[in-house]
Amino acid sequence: MDAPSVTFPRRETRRISVGDVPVGGGAPVTVQSMTTTKTADVDGTLAQIYALAGAGCDIVRCTCNEAEAAEGLAHIVPRSPIPIIADIHHNHRMALAAMDAGVHGLRLNPGNIRRPEHIKAVASEARDRKVPIRIGVNGGSLDPALYEKYGNVVTPEAMVESAMTELGYFAEVGFDLVKISVKASNVPLMVEAYRLLADATDVPLHLGVTEAGPLPEGYIKATAGIATLLAEGIGDTIRYSLTADPIEEARAGRVLLESLGLRERTDIDLIACPSCGRAEVDVIKVAEEARAALANRDLPLQVAVMGCVVNGPGEARDADLGIAAGRGRGHLFVKGTNVAVVDEADMVDQLVEWAEYIAEHGTEAALARVDTHKAAREAERDRASLIDEQGQDVNASAQRVELIRRDLRN
């Protein structure tokens, strides 16, 4: 698939490495998630980590809340396909134990590890081991003193002050392998906090709307916050915090980055029309069947499923491959050029066959293997027949516009 013609600017930040994954400094925006298993369950946790990696996750976080979890990490880290971050709350000794287990990074919440000497002890050890730390500010767990300072409400300024105070403790011991998040479940609050933070430091930023909730609302809230900031050039790594299987978080993050042109496509991007009165097939059903048939084939193509042959090929002319459905038949097109007319029952199978061919041989080779003039003539006959039967404007918009104009003249 061609590269997008419009790209979003990227805020300049420092670069750190989480294991072998670069974050910030112009590196590709990465996808993160968190395991939901008990970390002491080594095999179960590893199974979930492998599934997350297969879904597009670049970095994964595991809770480290007890000795058994830290011991589990010692077995998980060397067997994981992607870097492991230990999630630490309340007990700073768990951070030291996680580093002994070999983790690639830590996440500390300034709201519940508040004693400066504990923070500096962890940062000093992380400095010596070259283990990066995420300062993970959460709007729901601010230091009570900050909460009181800002009128007993969570504000963007309070969240940023929490992060910058922690960053100051790190600086006192010469530790700078840092990334920061200022997450909130309120989208406008989260967006404004990240904007303020981006103006205050050049540290890489981890984006997320915390506790976004179940599907589909969680998708919408998380995307609203994360995409807004990415479009402004803010953000170096992201996580969808969904009340769902973490595989959904990884998939959502990957799709978002690919949709914004911030990561190269690795699988099918299926586009489909919303259907209208002209449609001669169940577009939703065909699109779902196509998505299921094309998924997980590692075909980095944009594929279109359109409900009619009148406007479909033109509206999806930039797609690598598409099908426009007519009455009992479908018009296959490659980059807007008709290449075949197939029976309705064969549409999805033909999409798969052509997608695999294009992925292996390229668009030009795909067009060269058929008589495109013959296919275009056959497609045009179907199109002309449907226009003759239904009219170019099946929804009668032109007639309605004329009525409106007449009413306004009178």
pLDDT tens string 21-48:
999 999 999 999 999 999 999 999 999 9
CA distance 157 to 184: 13
Quote the DSSP letter at residue 205. B
**Residue, of 278 and 201, whose pLDDT is higher:** 201
Among 11-15, 182-186, 255-259, 297-301, the range scoring the smallest mean pLDDT is 297-301
pLDDT band at 162 (very low <50, low <70, confident <90, very high): very high
List every span in the chain annotated with CATH 3.20.20.20: 15-259
Alpha-helix residue ranges (DSSP H) falling in 29-186: 42-54, 67-76, 92-100, 116-129, 144-149, 156-172
394-409 mean pLDDT: 70
List every span in the chain annotated with CATH 3.30.413.10: 269-390
pLDDT above 90 for 313: no
Helix (H, G, I), strand (E, B) or coil at 242: strand
281-290 mean pLDDT: 88
pLDDT band at 1 (very low <50, low <70, confident <90, very high): very low
How far, in whole angstroms, is CA 376 from its chain's centroid? 37
Question: Max alpha carbon distance in the chain (Å)?
Answer: 83
Among 73-87, 211-225, 304-318, the range scoring the smallest mean pLDDT is 304-318
Alpha-helix residue ranges (DSSP H) falling in 130-235: 144-149, 156-172, 187-200, 217-231
pLDDT band at 283 (very low <50, low <70, confident <90, very high): confident
Q: What is the mean pLDDT of the chain?
A: 91
CA angle 383, 389, 392 (to 5 degrees): 60
pLDDT above 60 for 396: no
Encoded tokens for 132: 């990066």
CA distance 320 to 310: 19
H/E segment holding residue 372: helix 372-390
pLDDT above 80 for 97: yes
Alpha-helix residue ranges (DSSP H) falling in 260-346: 283-294, 312-315
**Residue, of 167 and 375, whose pLDDT is higher:** 167
Total residue length of the chain = 410
pLDDT band at 231 (very low <50, low <70, confident <90, very high): very high
**Which CATH class for the 269-390 domain?**
alpha beta
Best CA proximity match to 216, nearest among 184, 240, 182, 200: 240
How confident is the model at residue 389, as a pLDDT? 62
Which residues contact residue 353 at a Cβ distance below 8 angstroms, ignoring those fewer than 6 apart?
none
How confident is the model at residue 325, as a pLDDT? 82
Q: Tens of pLDDT along 356-392?
A: 999 999 999 999 988 888 877 776 776 666 666 655 5
H/E segment holding residue 143: none
Helix (H, G, I), strand (E, B) or coil at 216: coil
pLDDT band at 3 (very low <50, low <70, confident <90, very high): very low
pLDDT above 80 for 397: no
How confident is the model at residue 5, as a pLDDT? 58
Residue 13 is which amino acid? T
How confident is the model at residue 281, as a pLDDT? 78
The pTM of the full predicted model, rounded to 2 decimals, is 0.87
How confident is the model at residue 373, as a pLDDT? 82
**Which CATH class for the 15-259 domain?**
alpha beta
Quote the DSSP letter at residue 28. P
CA distance 110 to 143: 7
How confident is the model at residue 390, as a pLDDT? 58
